[in-house]
Amino acid sequence: MAVWALGLNHHTAPLDVRGRFAFTLDQIPPALRRLRAALTRQPEAALLSTCNRTELYCASDEPLIEPSARWLADTAGVAPEVLLRHAYVLREDEAARHAFRVASGLDSMVLGEAQILGQMKDAVRAADEAGALGTTLHQLFQRSFAIAKQVRSSTDIGAHSISMAAAAVRLAAQLFEDLRTIRILFIGAGEMIELAATHFAAQQPRHMAVANRTLERGEKLAARFCAEVMRLADVPERLHEFDAVVSCTASTLPLIGLGMVESALRQRRHRPMFMVDLAVPRDIEAEVKALEDVYLYTVDDLAAVVQAGKDSRLAAVAQAEAIIDAGVQSFMHWLRQRDPQAGVVALIRDLQAQADVWRAGEIARARRLLARGESVDAALEALARGLTQKMLHGALAELHSGDEASRRHTAEMVARLFLRGRAPARSSDAASRSGTHA
């Protein structure tokens, strides 16, 4: 089976580009069904989409990277070259390594954050719901979850981790003298807003309100924090009442525009407003950032704040990477066991690549000899001798190592590989002769 990952994230693409490729959780199952219907061979597929990344994981009997990239670009309404300008394509062991690092929080904007693991589990459930999750991807993701658990339990990767929500509180504290005097509006009622509300509530602000498209869900979140609940449609008329706004919804279009904020500022007599847009795509129009009395931060703007304390976790990163390396080897071993021929094909490819390296090196050496004035015969002799030594070095070294039984086994193998067509010699004689000619 070919396994690959195609994606873009906060390392490779700016916020507005990521927004073009964002999927809500309920959009993922139908999207995966469309993907599989669009390709000639229906691959196993899973789609992970968060504010920091959109990644497509696939497995098939042959790699379908180009058509899957074309499908993702078409879905976002962009040309494939626009996607590929910001995307990464990872295959086989590198795809597995990436999945394990993502699940473990090593590829997150907030190093070691745990939220991504839950988001990945949601993505896997959505793929299963779409009927797109086969044996290979099931194994890949179950191993991802197990490795993430091991990383979190046996390293300090999550220690002193600063979340986006905590970073927002820090920035608000820099603007307002006392957070207990401010009024805060939360737009949305999802996990990110719940986390942000938890952090701000700890500062005991003067007033908190929750606006959500579904009033029932907004009421449930508001009740946790003794906050006011309001309809999303009331935000334009009441925006001026709030000193801070934190928004994170699944809307595909901005909910708060430039004109709405300008009107609010006039009613506030230009008292400053602190705004955090955690949504991808944006909830707040980018032009709002240019207003003199507005301090608008997006998920990308928070990056510098959440990096605080990263140096103290670098030792834990090294431990986590070692756990992931072992996990990758185990997964690839499992994959090869399912298809023994794949391991043979990979070995043949590696042997051919190594032979190409040797050939290129000896040709370059022969050309240098000719350039120095050596004869053609001398250059050819050196080339042949160099290639022969490189080809035989590993076999001769093995004949000299190990105990008698292993040397006998190696001698028989070497004879089969290099002495075909000749009368077979006794393995002990072959082993002893290797010492003479080495």
The Cα 44–Cα 51 span in angstroms is 24
Do 245 and 273 form a contact (C-beta atoms < 8 A)? yes
- Strands, E assignment, 68-111: 88-91
Which residues, listed in sequence order, are joined to residue 104 by a DSSP beta bridge?
A: none
Burial of 357 (0-12, 13-18, 19+ CB in 10 A): exposed
Which residues are known catalytic residues? 51
The Cα 185–Cα 257 span in angstroms is 16
CB atoms closer than 10 angstroms to residue 139: 17
Tokens of 88: 């990464």
Closest CA to 193 of 238, 157, 149, 244: 244
C-alpha angle 63/66/68, rounded to 5°?
80
The Cα 235–Cα 239 span in angstroms is 5
Closest CA to 2 of 41, 50, 53, 29: 41
Contacts 24+ apart (CB under 8 A), 309-317: 309/160, 309/161, 309/162, 310/111, 312/159, 312/160, 313/111, 313/112, 313/156, 313/157, 313/159, 313/160, 313/161, 315/156, 316/112, 316/155, 316/156, 316/157, 316/159, 317/106, 317/111, 317/157
Query: Is residue 13 helix, strand or coil?
Result: coil
Element (H, E) at 59: strand 53-60
Sign (positive or negative) of CA dihedral 397, 400, 404, 408: positive
